[in-house]
């Protein structure tokens, strides 16, 4: 094979971010925003995207460079040309790093005939995210590989949800590594307060599982809003996120909360399909970039 294009999706959390780092349950959905990686055989290593054109570069392309290095341990990669294109906003809580990692692993896997299966891809993706971010749960990389709605850490696939999903991007970069370490510090200093908050978030996910299965969006919304209050309590909200969250709720969304690490980045609202435009307009009016999307069953896939 001379060249191949693979893509992998971003994700939103219905419930459970941050708590999942400590083994609590979370429910995460792959969404219809994707990162595409076109890989072709070459004499040298070249990585290109809107961020620029370079060789192995751990500052500009930490995830892709790490994938190339890791996969060079299992196959002989003399040269490869990787061209990245994405409609997942970077550093915004939508799993852009997991998507580029997983799409790159699958592209190299197929280009060099490594014979990796989906579980191997998700596992390697997780080890790369963990190395770069310090602490990372397997959630983002697993969901990006498998697609659909997934309950973690059980890795249990739930029924796909079919309500409207409106994402609001604050446009403020958020560092997952920083936010995860802020929560770790809070937990270390106040374990008797923070531990019950994290286990309550886990309980929200466990309670939410049946509601997701029954597609009871109003009740899912109630739990997502409670989850938001607890995320605020552990310090991962921001004034910009709060503005978008309350704007979406006031415009009739079932729910609105942070998705991902928080501190900036994105919020997500669930809405009846007939209310999606209203919710999106309210987010825009409150200063965010609104993205209307849906949950997708499609994880990593070949594009050509």
Interacting residues toward ligand MEV by CB under 6 A: 17-18, 20-21, 93, 95, 136-137, 139-140, 176, 180, 260-261
Q: Which is nearer to ligand MEV, 17 or 240 (CB)?
A: 17
**CA 114, CA 182: separation in Å to the nearest integer?**
38
**Helix, strand or coil for residue 253?**
coil
User: H or E stretch including 77?
Assistant: none
Is 43 one of the catalytic residues? no
Long-range contacts of 73-78 (CB under 8 A, 24+ apart): 74/114, 75/108, 75/112, 75/113, 75/114, 76/112, 77/45, 77/108, 77/112, 78/43
Q: Which residue is nearest to ligand MEV (CB)?
A: 137
- Shortest gap between Cβ of 18 and ligand MEV (angstroms)? 5
Q: Which is nearer to ligand MEV, 12 or 68 (CB)?
A: 12
Phi, psi of 121 (to 5 degrees): -65, -45
Q: Which residue has the tokens 């060249």?
A: 3
Q: Which is nearer to ligand MEV, 181 or 207 (CB)?
A: 181
Question: Tokens in use for 42?
Answer: 């070459």
Q: Which is nearer to ligand MEV, 49 or 205 (CB)?
A: 205
* Range list of H helices, the chain: 62-72, 96-111, 118-133, 139-146, 176-189, 191-213, 217-233, 239-250, 276-285
Q: Which is nearer to ligand MEV, 54 or 181 (CB)?
A: 181
- Shortest gap between Cβ of 130 and ligand MEV (angstroms)? 8
**Helix, strand or coil for residue 289?**
strand
Distance between the two ends of the chain, CA-based, in angstroms?
Answer: 12
**CA 156, CA 272: separation in Å to the nearest integer?**
26
Is the bond leading into 153 cis (omega within 30 degrees of zero)? yes
Q: Which is nearer to ligand MEV, 25 or 137 (CB)?
A: 137
Q: Which is nearer to ligand MEV, 9 or 95 (CB)?
A: 95
DSSP 115: -
**CA 279, CA 66: separation in Å to the nearest integer?**
39
Catalytic option among 32, 59, 76, 140: 140
Question: Tokens in use for 273?
Answer: 């399909």
Closest CA to 92 of 167, 203, 165, 3: 167
- Shortest gap between Cβ of 129 and ligand MEV (angstroms)? 7
Which residues are annotated as catalytic?
140
């Amino acid at each position: 094979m001379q060249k191949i294009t693979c893509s992998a999706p971003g994700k939103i959390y219905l419930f459970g971010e941050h708590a999942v780092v400590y083994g609590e349950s979370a429910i995460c959905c792959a969404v219809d925003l994707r990162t595409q990686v076109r890989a072709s055989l070459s004499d040298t290593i070249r990585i290109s995207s809107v961020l620029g054109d370079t060789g192995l570069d751990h500052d500009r392309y930490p995830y892709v460079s790490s994938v190339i290095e890791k996969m060079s341990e299992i196959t002989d990669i003399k040269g490869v040309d990787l061209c990245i294109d994405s409609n997942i906003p970077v550093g915004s809580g939508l799993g852009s790093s997991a998507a580029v990692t997983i799409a790159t692993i699958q592209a190299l896997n197929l280009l060099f005939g490594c014979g990796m299966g989906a579980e191997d891809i998700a596992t390697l993706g997780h080890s790369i995210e963990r190395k770069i971010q310090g602490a990372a749960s397997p959630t983002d990389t697993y969901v990006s590989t498998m697609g659909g709605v997934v309950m973690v850490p059980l890795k249990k696939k739930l029924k796909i949800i079919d309500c409207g999903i409106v994402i609001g991007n604050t446009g403020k970069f958020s560092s997952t590594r920083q936010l995860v370490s802020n929560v770790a510090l809070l937990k270390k200093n106040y374990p008797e307060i923070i531990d019950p908050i994290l286990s309550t978030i886990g309980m929200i996910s466990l309670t939410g599982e049946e509601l997701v299965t029954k597609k009871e969006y109003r009740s899912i919304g109630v739990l997502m809003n409670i989850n938001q209050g607890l995320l605020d309590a552990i310090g991962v909200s921001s004034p910009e996120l709060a503005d978008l969250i309350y704007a979406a709720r006031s415009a009739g969304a079932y729910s609105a909360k942070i998705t991902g690490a928080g501190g900036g980045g994105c919020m997500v609202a669930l809405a009846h399909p007939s209310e999606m435009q209203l919710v999106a307009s309210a987010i825009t009016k409150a200063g965010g970039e609104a993205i209307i999307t849906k949950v997708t069953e499609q994880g990593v896939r070949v594009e050509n």
